[in-house]
C-alpha cells in the first residue's frame, strides 16, 4: 500500500471498532485493512477517532468520543494519568490486565516462535497492585515558582510536577517531596536540559520493603553541591528513616541518569532488603528488582521449573547481583553465575557472603565466552538458567546451551518477542517448551515477565 492509497487522511475523523492492544498499550483499529493505533481506547469499544499521523503501512489516532464502552474500563485513580507516560493501563481493570498479558504472551509465542499447544498459565498478579515500586528516579527542573519534580509527559521531556505516584512506595514519594522542598528553600537550582545549566538533575530514592531502610541519591550536574551540610542535616531531621545519603555527579549532556562518580555524603554505602530468606545489599547504582514482592513469585516459579536436586550443577547465564543464583543455591549442589558488568559481580559476591552461601562462584565476562571456557574445564550444567536483558540471549550462548545439553533450561524473560525468537532456536536444537508462566511485575503497564520451562528431548 503506497501512502497515496492509504484509506484515511490526517486530521479527518472516523468511526472505528477497537480489536486489540499493542505491546505499548495502544488500541488497534482497522479501516479497509489499514491499521491505526489509538492510545487510551480498549478492545471491544467503538468510538470516533481523529487521525493524527499517517504512514504507508499504519497510522495513529486520538480518541475523540466513545460510542460503546468496554465492561473492563475503569476510572484511573491517578490525577495525572492522562498526561504522564509512566503507566499505560490504569483505565483497564486489573483482572483484564492480567488476561491481556497472558494473551500477549500466547500471541507472540505463536506468531514469532511458532510455539503452540503448550500450557500458558494465567498471569500471576498482585493482591494489591499499587505502591509496589521500591525505586524512584525523578527528574528535577526550575520553573516560575521554584523547583518541579515528577515524571515526563508521554513522548516529551516536559516534567509533570507531581506529589505522589500511585505505583511508588509512599516512602519514595516522601523523599522526593522533602528533598524538593529543602532544595527550594536553599535556592538550589534544578537542571535545564536544553541549556545544560543548573545543579540538581535527579532525586533517586531507594526503599527496602522488608527492612524499611531508605537511601537518598542526589544527582547533580556540578561536582559542587551547594549548601551541602544544611541539605544533609535537614534531610536527616525530616526523614529519620534514611540510612544513606549519596551524591552522584553527572556533568554530561545526556539522558542517562547517573554519572561515573558516586560519593557517600552521610550514613552507609548500602541499604538492605530481603527476597524470601535471601538478604541483599543495595548501593546507589545496584541493579535490584523494583517489585520485590513479585520478584519472589517469579523466582519461586524459576526454582520450581528448575526442579533441582542436591546433586545438580546449575549455570546462571545473566546473574546480575546474584538474585536468582542465590535462590538456586539453596537447592543445588553448586551454582556458577556469569555477568558482563564487573560491579554487579562484586555485588553478587558480597550478597553470597552476606547470606553465608558458599556453593556459588561468580565470574565477570560474556556468558557466550565464559560458559564454553567452563565447559572446557569440565564444568557441565544439569540446568541452565537465563535471565537476559530485553534484547534476549546472544546467539553464541544459545549455541553453547545446545552443545552442552543440560537436562533443563529455565528462561526468565522481560520481553515476549525476544523470548519467542530464542525458544524457537532452542526447540530446533533439541529442547521442548513444556510450560510458560507469565508474572505481572509491573501492574498498570504493558510489561510482562515470563518463566519458561524447557526439557531436553533425546533424539
- Length of the chain as a residue count: 459
* Candidates 84, 319, 393, 414; catalytic one: 414
**104 Cβ neighbours under 8 A, 6+ residues apart:** 21, 23, 416, 446, 448
Grid coordinates representing 381 are 550444567
pLDDT in tens for each of the 459 residues of the chain?
556 678 999 999 999 999 999 999 999 999 999 999 999 999 999 999 999 999 999 999 999 999 999 999 999 999 999 888 789 999 999 999 999 999 999 999 999 999 998 999 999 999 999 999 999 999 999 998 889 999 888 778 889 999 999 999 999 999 999 999 999 999 999 999 989 999 999 999 999 999 999 999 999 999 999 999 999 999 999 999 999 999 999 999 999 999 999 999 999 999 999 999 999 999 999 999 999 999 999 999 999 999 999 999 999 999 999 999 999 999 999 999 999 999 999 999 999 999 999 999 999 999 989 998 998 899 999 999 999 999 999 999 999 999 999 999 999 999 999 999 999 999 999 999 999 999 999 999 999 999 999 999 975
User: Distances from the Cα of 159 to the Cαs of 29, 102, 149, 371, in angstroms?
Assistant: 31, 33, 7, 44
What is residue 238's predicted lDDT score, i.e. its pLDDT?
97
Question: Contact 354/279 with Cβ under 8 angstroms?
Answer: yes
Question: Contact 390/364 with Cβ under 8 angstroms?
Answer: no
Question: Contact 324/412 with Cβ under 8 angstroms?
Answer: yes
CA distance 330 to 310: 9
- 3-class SS at 179? helix
Helix locations, 51-143, DSSP H: 94-111
What is residue 156's predicted lDDT score, i.e. its pLDDT?
82
Grid coordinates representing 174 are 516522601
Domains of the chain: 3-68 (2.40.50.140), 99-127+291-456 (3.40.50.150), 135-275 (2.40.50.1070)
**135 Cβ neighbours under 8 A, 6+ residues apart:** 172, 204, 205, 206, 207, 288, 290
Grid coordinates representing 47 are 468510538
Could you tell me the pTM of the whole model?
Answer: 0.93
What is residue 158's predicted lDDT score, i.e. its pLDDT?
87
Question: Contact 332/308 with Cβ under 8 angstroms?
Answer: yes
- Nearest to 425, CA basis, from 459, 388, 393: 393
Whether residue 414 lies in the annotated active site = yes
What is residue 459's predicted lDDT score, i.e. its pLDDT?
55
CA distance 149 to 139: 6
CA distance 111 to 102: 14
Cell 558482563 found at: 340
Triad 20, 451, 127: Cα angle to 5° = 70
What is residue 341's predicted lDDT score, i.e. its pLDDT?
92
Exposed e or buried b per residue across 225-239, where buried means at least 16 C-beta atoms within 10 angstroms of its C-beta: beebeebbebbeeeb
Amino acid at each position: 500500500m503506497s501512502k497515496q492509497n492509504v484509506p484515511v487522511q490526517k486530521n479527518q475523523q472516523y468511526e472505528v471498532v477497537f480489536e486489540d492492544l499493542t505491546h505499548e498499550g495502544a488500541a488497534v483499529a482497522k479501516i479497509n485493512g489499514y491499521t491505526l493505533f489509538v492510545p487510551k481506547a480498549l478492545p471491544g469499544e467503538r468510538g470516533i477517532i481523529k487521525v493524527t499521523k499517517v504512514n504507508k503501512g499504519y497510522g495513529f489516532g486520538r480518541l475523540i468520543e466513545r460510542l460503546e464502552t468496554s465492561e473492563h474500563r475503569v476510572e484511573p485513580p491517578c490525577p495525572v494519568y492522562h498526561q504522564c507516560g509512566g503507566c499505560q493501563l490504569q483505565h483497564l481493570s486489573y483482572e483484564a490486565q492480567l488476561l491481556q498479558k497472558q494473551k500477549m504472551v500466547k500471541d507472540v509465542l505463536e506468531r514469532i516462535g511458532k510455539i503452540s499447544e503448550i500450557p500458558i498459565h494465567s498471569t500471576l498478579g498482585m493482591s494489591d497492585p499499587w505502591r509496589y515500586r521500591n525505586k524512584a528516579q525523578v527528574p528535577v527542573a526550575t520553573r516560575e515558582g521554584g523547583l518541579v519534580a515528577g515524571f515526563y509527559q508521554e513522548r516529551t521531556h516536559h516534567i509533570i510536577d507531581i506529589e505522589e505516584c500511585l505505583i511508588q512506595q509512599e516512602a519514595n514519594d516522601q523523599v522526593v517531596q522533602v528533598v524538593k522542598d529543602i532544595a527550594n528553600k536553599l535556592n538550589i537550582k534544578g537542571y535545564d536540559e536544553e541549556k545544560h545549566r543548573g545543579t540538581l538533575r535527579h532525586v533517586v530514592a531507594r526503599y527496602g520493603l522488608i527492612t524499611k531502610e531508605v537511601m537518598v541519591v542526589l544527582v547533580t550536574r556540578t561536582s559542587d553541591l551547594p549548601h551541602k551540610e544544611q541539605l544533609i542535616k535537614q534531610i536527616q531531621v525530616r526523614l529519620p528513616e534514611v540510612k544513606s545519603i549519596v551524591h552522584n555527579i553527572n556533568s554530561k549532556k545526556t539522558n542517562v541518569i547517573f554519572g561515573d562518580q558516586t560519593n557517600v555524603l552521610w550514613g552507609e554505602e548500602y541499604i538492605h532488603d530481603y527476597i524470601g530468606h535471601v538478604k541483599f545489599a543495595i548501593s546507589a547504582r545496584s541493579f535490584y528488582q523494583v517489585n520485590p514482592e513479585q520478584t519472589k513469585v517469579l523466582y519461586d516459579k524459576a526454582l520450581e521449573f528448575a526442579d533441582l536436586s542436591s546433586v545438580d550443577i546449575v549455570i546462571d547465564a545473566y546473574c546480575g547481583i546474584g538474585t536468582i543464583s542465590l535462590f538456586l543455591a539453596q537447592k543445588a549442589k553448586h551454582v556458577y553465575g556469569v555477568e558482563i558488568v564487573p560491579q554487579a559481580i562484586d555485588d553478587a559476591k558480597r550478597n553470597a557472603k552476606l547470606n553465608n552461601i558458599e556453593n556459588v562462584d561468580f565470574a565477570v565476562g560474556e556468558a557466550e565466552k565464559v560458559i564454553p571456557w567452563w565447559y572446557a574445564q569440565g564444568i557441565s550444567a544439569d540446568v541452565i538458567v537465563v535471565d537476559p536483558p530485553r534484547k534476549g540471549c546472544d546467539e553464541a550462548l544459545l549455541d553453547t546451551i545446545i552443545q552442552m545439553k543440560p537436562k533443563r533450561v529455565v528462561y526468565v524473560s522481560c520481553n515476549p518477542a525476544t523470548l519467542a525468537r530464542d525458544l524457537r532456536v532452542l526447540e530446533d536444537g533439541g529442547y521442548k517448551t513444556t510450560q510458560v508462566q507469565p508474572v505481572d511485575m509491573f501492574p498498570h503497564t504493558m510489561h510482562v515477565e515470563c518463566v519458561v520451562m524447557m526439557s531436553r528431548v533425546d533424539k
